[in-house]
Structure 1
């Protein structure tokens, strides 16, 4: 019997190739899209899960005036004494970039760290060479990842080889590890022994000495109460660092698996993103598979009428309804299995490309993992049930007499369900269109709107030696392609220096936190910062004991002023003891991502801290200008590699996670809409098959092509309107919730919804047009002929 069902299924597919193609193509796209989304979300939600002790690993953080992921280097040594029961503790000093010299070759590398010998007990590194217990014990030791080892030494054995780091440290390779997975909160290309720089760090072993990039991790024993350990932390801080610090700061223990998703913290290595974002992608996958199943149901229902005589003959010959249901479910199963196989192959072919779009590491090998195979089996069963049950019951319910007399039609319940499916399909399309438009507007808002400074055609370049700053400046200003030059501790969108501030004069005795930017006298004009009152920063006389500062609006308000002019000449204490006078107030600018509210900021002149050059170039010939800058820079700093970054690229990097999600959302929304178009095509085919004779009669009575096309489209336009009433509030709620993840975001206006319904109507009209015009142009003789 089973063999008979399969044979019949393939015969029907062969006889109705267009019907089978639409079904299989829609389901294939849906399954491939869902599979790719599943792997993307699995990758993103699985951050740091590759570590076998991930559930017992915590990052020791600081919460004083901010949630700070960086802590003092003094924390881990003290915890090892006070909490000997901890399974492992490690201190990591992360560096974002450096220059490596191997023989005569130099390489610009990103993401390396200084780590102590216990780092291997916290993180799971797969060692290819070297002893994990001793590789980082001695000073001047380095452990390379496999890719870096091959890059430096090709096929030679890297063990025992020497490399130079930043023209300063001569390091010996003591180990090689496999490349880390892409979903790690601490991406590393190589590890240097922390002992290598221990003497340089001796002066930074008090609580408030917090170097950028200093992270602390602990692993607790199995069944250990992390709540009890957290309760002991205030006493730990008080004992080791004093009562005053214990009152001002707490040390939260952050689960390792939460690091990638906790957006409260500053100074993270990778940009955190909300878990809700990835659940939204799962929602898109669900909408895609529902849309594909709706298509299947609609097309199968349309096909049912054509097969009514077959059903009648089978019933006359004794077939029961259960047998017919099994037969039609068998045909559905064959089509779904074909779609699943093609969907898996399609996803395998595009996984690498999807990984590039999303900047993540996924490959076809993951499709063979048990979890993924189980998911594929589950989605296959779900699709078979969703797509097959209703058409099977409809087809098996035809009465033999009506079937053989060609009087079969779909019942009122069937029509109601069909219209409901159309509304659901249009609602899904409109929600996805609304979502795509809002995410696109928010991404544009991130990178281009309301920054508070000018970023166009500006590059940022680091200076290895500030003593050569004036010579470099003269060389740049003499070149016609350079428009403006300014030196600072960082452009407006770079934030690396924070300190405390208070003002006893104004009644603010409790310390608050502010960002500090050290700038020259050209900075304000070059970046077009808007002054609200007072003067800009000027060159400071080294003999001055009172520091002149410019503050932003946020700091002005924290000091209790609403009128910028009233803040001028007031005194502020920075960093505990630096007496400063406010000489100007500037408008707020965006120094961090828009996930967070703008913070207090101070501009100050300090010639010793101006180690970054900001260069605005003429728009024409920028590549030539960069070449000139690089040539002059290399002459001044021959032992260093020339590196630069466009400020707009730096700003874009702040929203890398959102850009990844937007890319995925955009891509899969298009796929869902395409699948919906296939369904619309099927619905028009259904309508045309139902009204063939009606169209013929109207043609005989003189109806025009336009009136017949209007006959088919009128109902769908009405259903689009109903779908909009469903989609608009749902789309608004979903996207409004998503926007709450950001301190600054766009407002959702009516224009987005107008575009959504207009786009739906246009897409529907284009999809409907072909089949409707085809029905209108058919010879009425053929329409009225009764076979």
Structure 2
């Protein structure tokens, strides 16, 4: 019986090649999107799930309850040690301090190799590898990193640095400061972990590498300073957080007791918590899930439309089968067999599309996703069964209910194939989904365009940023003079970072010797006297500070003044103290506000001050017409100044684009899925028009005989799809507004969702639909009326 079903199904599909082709393409696109979205979601949900006892592993983090609630995944450096020594709640506790883009130097004889490691380096306490499951392939796990001067690296790094040589016992040099001997080799990190550092060195060398005061500094938080703990069995998160509250009482005084809070972040929250430097917000995964679901539904709807449009063409076949004794359930399963055959072909095609598209998805996300064959096979089987019965059940029931006498006499009408109203509902559903995605695309494009073209309060074009690896006064002075002498260079400034940066330093602030510090922090910008002119900042009161190596004067921004409820002129000459009152100087100028983060965050109170010890960047404003020769000159001067370091450069506008990396990724996905939804929707609309053309064959013939022109015939179809698209738009517009309103909430500075966006969406949809409907409508309107009247 099954063999017979399949054989007949194959014959029917061969006879109706266009119908089969459109059905297969529509389903394949929908299923391929489902496979890719399923892979993407399961990949992100798998992050750091491979560690032992993950429910007992936590990261400590900081909260400040002051002018609002601020959070950081970093903690004061002494916190982890204090929690471990003062309380017996953690089975293991370890500190790990991460530093980005370090220089690794390897010397072999006269050969010196230099590597800039984007994944960074981590000063690590030994228990870290008891808390997290990163297996050691070579070396003694009990003693590794215990003694100062030790390092462990991954297999990948060992191959990169030493090739086929044994890496154990080899020496690497960090930032031309500290030597480390490799005593262990880690198994390569799995792709589904947020712990990206592949070089771990002894925590005992921290004082040698950076400021010794960090070890006793409870007032500063560096985002790379992390602490992990694995709680003992039976110890709850609440008990541990109570202990952390006791630490606050012991190490803080005055108002700080109400400001500082330390809490525990579960391991499974780290990848998804954007407030604590998480990569993927779960709401975006949910959005992708529903997009995938809607695309599969859209593909199934398209299939149903095409199948029911074909139903009238098969009425005589069904009538003959019933006369010869076929039962309704046999006809139903016959159609299910056809659907299954189409679905199987579509699934095979979808798998092929998915394999071709996955590298592009990996490149977009900078990930290493692979198809899990077990999970994928289960998903494909389930999705195949769902699609077969979701797509095939209704058309199968329609065919099975045909009355044989009416079928053989060609007397079947619209009501016998399920009613035209159902197909209207299906097309409205398809285009409502398409229009939601189109509106979403337009809004995200508009927001990104606004973010990248709006006035940031500083100049970003034509500014190149070079690293400053050493704060040697003589070297810096000489290099600046040489850079200023390069043709095409307008300005040169030393600073910690550009005005807008992902790396910022915020500290407490005291104004005008007040008895109590302000209830908000200030963003510190270490920079020389050329900073304001290089980046085009505008003074609204006072003057720029005079040249100096250390902080003798401050320049603040308008937000600082507004926080104090004063006017710019009021703060000139007043004393400002920061860094726990370790740095005190008068305010000499106020600059117009500029964005110091992305548009996702509010502008902070800012102070700009000279301090050559904290300069890590040289910013060069240049004429882009001479860019090629200028960049070559910069490299030559830089390499002559720092011959032992690794040269790199970056344009400021490129660094600003990185603020919106996830938004750009989301836009790319939405554009792709919107395009696929439109293609599938157009196929469904084509099916509806085909059905209309069959149903109105005689009517069109009569109208043409009575003198109707082609445009009148075309309007028969046009008014139908116009009405449907307007209904779809009425449904899609509020849904899209709600979704995009929530998306834009993540931006402190954002566009307004105005009527123009919705007009653009409906206009684009009408153009696409007109092209789709036009071809089939023109064919119907040009048909010979004699043949049309003979059709019945």
RMSD over equivalenced CA pairs, Å? 2.2
Q: Is the 8 A contact 1:274 1:741 kept in 2?
A: no
Structure 1 counterpart of 2:134, from 125, 129, 148: 125
Q: Is the 8 A contact 2:545 2:555 kept in 1?
A: yes
In 2 relative to 1, CA 223–624 (structure 1 residues): closer, same or farther, beyond 3 Å? farther
Structure 1 counterpart of 2:352, from 345, 355, 380: 345
In 2 relative to 1, CA 708–178 (structure 1 residues): closer, same or farther, beyond 3 Å? farther
Q: Is the 8 A contact 2:456 2:595 kept in 1?
A: yes
1:218 maps to 2:215: no
- What TM-score results when the alignment is normalised by the length of structure 1? 0.94
In 2 relative to 1, CA 170–607 (structure 1 residues): closer, same or farther, beyond 3 Å? closer
- Partner in structure 1 of residue 394 of structure 2: 390
Q: Is the 8 A contact 1:551 1:582 kept in 2?
A: yes
Residue 208 of structure 1: how far off its partner (Å): 2.2
1:204 maps to 2:214: yes
Q: Is the 8 A contact 2:450 2:751 kept in 1?
A: yes
1:3 maps to 2:13: no
Q: Is the 8 A contact 1:91 1:115 kept in 2?
A: yes
Residue 572 of structure 1: how far off its partner (Å): 2.5
1:474 maps to 2:481: yes
- Partner in structure 1 of residue 244 of structure 2: 233
Per-residue CA distance 1:391-434 (angstroms, 9 max, x = gap): 11111111111100111122186211111111111111111100
In 2 relative to 1, CA 571–169 (structure 1 residues): closer, same or farther, beyond 3 Å? closer
Q: Compare 111-120 and 728-737 and name the one that shifted more.
A: 111-120
- What TM-score results when the alignment is normalised by the length of structure 2? 0.93
In 2 relative to 1, CA 272–449 (structure 1 residues): closer, same or farther, beyond 3 Å? farther
1:221-300 aligned at under 5 Å gives the runs: 221-239=232-250, 246-265=257-276, 268=277, 272-300=279-307
Per-residue CA distance 1:711-747 (angstroms, 9 max, x = gap): 2222101111111111111110111112112222221
Q: Aligned pair count?
A: 776
Q: Compare 748-757 and 220-229 and name the one that shifted more.
A: 220-229
- Partner in structure 2 of residue 644 of structure 1: 649
Q: Distance in 1 between matches of 2:140 and 2:419?
A: 70
In 2 relative to 1, CA 763–328 (structure 1 residues): closer, same or farther, beyond 3 Å? same
Residue 306 of structure 1: how far off its partner (Å): 0.7
Per-residue CA distance 1:67-89 (angstroms, 9 max, x = gap): 22222221122212223341221
1:732 maps to 2:737: yes
1:716 maps to 2:721: yes
1:51-130 aligned at under 5 Å gives the runs: 51-64=51-64, 65=66, 66-102=70-106, 103=108, 104-111=112-119, 112-130=121-139
Residue 509 of structure 1: how far off its partner (Å): 4.0
1:446 maps to 2:451: yes
Q: Is the 8 A contact 2:710 2:782 kept in 1?
A: yes
Q: Compare 223-232 and 402-411 and name the one that shifted more.
A: 223-232
Q: Is the 8 A contact 1:20 1:335 kept in 2?
A: yes
- Partner in structure 2 of residue 322 of structure 1: 329
Q: Is the partner of 2:604 in helix, strand or coil?
A: coil
In 2 relative to 1, CA 425–234 (structure 1 residues): closer, same or farther, beyond 3 Å? same
Per-residue CA distance 1:180-223 (angstroms, 9 max, x = gap): 24443331132222223355564322222544521111112344
Q: Is the partner of 2:228 in helix, strand or coil?
A: strand
Q: Distance in 1 between matches of 2:570 and 2:105?
A: 55
Q: Is the partner of 2:508 in helix, strand or coil?
A: strand
Residue 293 of structure 1: how far off its partner (Å): 0.9
Per-residue CA distance 1:278-312 (angstroms, 9 max, x = gap): 21111211221111011000000011111111111
- Partner in structure 2 of residue 354 of structure 1: 361
Structure 2 unpaired stretches of 5+: none
Q: Distance in 1 between matches of 2:540 and 2:514?
A: 20
- Partner in structure 2 of residue 431 of structure 1: 436
Q: Is the partner of 1:416 in helix, strand or coil?
A: helix
In 2 relative to 1, CA 441–50 (structure 1 residues): closer, same or farther, beyond 3 Å? farther
Q: Compare 141-150 and 89-98 and name the one that shifted more.
A: 141-150
Q: Distance in 1 between matches of 2:102 and 2:580?
A: 33
Q: Distance in 1 between matches of 2:79 and 2:191?
A: 29
Q: Is the 8 A contact 2:304 2:395 kept in 1?
A: yes
Q: Is the 8 A contact 1:548 1:581 kept in 2?
A: yes
Q: Is the partner of 1:696 in helix, strand or coil?
A: helix
Per-residue CA distance 1:203-259 (angstroms, 9 max, x = gap): 322222544521111112344311122122211333456687544411111222223
